[in-house]
Amino acid sequence: MISIFIIMNLQENIQRIKQMMGLLTEQEQENYSTILIFGPQGVGKSTLTKPLGKRLGIEVINTDEKIRGFQMPDNIRTKKELWNSSRDFEFDGMKKVLNDYLGKPVIIDIGGSHGVWEGKHLEEIKSMISQYPNTFLLLPTENKEKSKEHLRKNLLKREHDMEGAIEYWKKLLEKDENWFSNNGYEKEDYLDLLEKVKNNDKKTIDLANYWINRMQTRLDLAKSGDVNWVDFDINDEESELVKPQPDYFEDKSDYFIDNMTNSGIANHTIYNLDKDTNEVIDDIIKVLI
């Protein structure tokens, strides 16, 4: 029979190894539930939360994957109306995510616009998370202008992801039947569009050319850095919706930083500019309670 002392020593050694690796025990996981990470678009939340989850040994929930499907109502005419409508939709989505995961040993990676609230929306979100002290606002730096500059650079890097989407539409026009298999796109959707292209469906062909031209223009501008940014104005009640324009780059960084900083939605603010991911993770773990 295995000695109880051998078992105890084995458990102690496992615990020491976990501590050396920065991993949490099951009991510690319960103590640290739930961790919420807020931050503006482009700040690097996903880059942080995945290794943070691995380090702590707990699951990461990304609200961008949970809150989807917003469709603009037909009666929307102004940017303000669109913003308010999207706020209502995302508020309902955030409530569901919080109801599903608060109290569990998880990290909730809160997509940029999912962490921006005002009025009754803010009051209700804060009420839901008030008993959870591990709420973090991730920003590049205390200097807002430097933060905005850094966020814009990161937002432009996202435009580089369009290369795959451009190739998608080009392959359709080339009637390539095999391309989709290794590129993570839905086979049925691709083949459905492909069949329409083969049948010379003008609407589908025009759509493909539209997206190729639009995305290529944005990609070229992003790579050049020659972008005329338009700051989002939450108080703009009259500006009509901007028709899809490939050279229109709207930046919500200013508003997001002000709102998230002043709303008190997070208990801790962590700055990540010029820090590697492990340094930021260490900053977070130091204040976990």
Higher pLDDT, 161 or 20: 161
**pLDDT tens sequence across 179-193:** 766 555 567 888 889
Q: State the pLDDT at residue 8.
A: 44
DSSP 128: H
Cα dist from 106 to 18, 97, 102, 268, whole Å: 18, 12, 8, 17
Instruction: Give the model's confidence band at 26: pLDDT under 50 very low, under 70 low, under 90 confident, else very high.
Output: low
User: By mean pLDDT, which of 60-64, 70-74, 133-137, 197-201 is the weakest?
Assistant: 70-74
**pLDDT tens sequence across 237-249:** 888 887 778 898 9
What 3-state DSSP class applies to 168?
helix
User: By mean pLDDT, which of 106-120, 121-135, 170-184, 256-270 is the weakest?
Assistant: 170-184
Percent of the chain with pLDDT over 70: 87
Which of 272, 277, 266, 269 shows the shortest CA–CA distance to 54? 277
> Which pTM does this prediction carry?
0.79
Instruction: Give the model's confidence band at 7: pLDDT under 50 very low, under 70 low, under 90 confident, else very high.
Output: very low
76-94 mean pLDDT: 91
Instruction: Give the model's confidence band at 236: pLDDT under 50 very low, under 70 low, under 90 confident, else very high.
Output: confident
Measure CA 224 to chain center.
25
Distance CA 51, CA 174 (A): 40
Cα dist from 143 to 140, 147, 273, whole Å: 8, 6, 11
CB atoms within 10 A of CB 146: 12
Longest dimension (CA), the chain: 80
Distance CA 117, CA 263 (A): 8
Q: Where are the alpha helices (DSSP H) in 112-201?
A: 119-129, 144-159, 162-173, 187-198
Exposure class string for 33-57: b at 16+ Cβ within 10 A, else e: bbbbbbbbbbbbbeebbeebbebbb
**Residue 31 above 60 pLDDT?**
no
Q: State the pLDDT at residue 1.
A: 47
**Residue 2 above 60 pLDDT?**
no
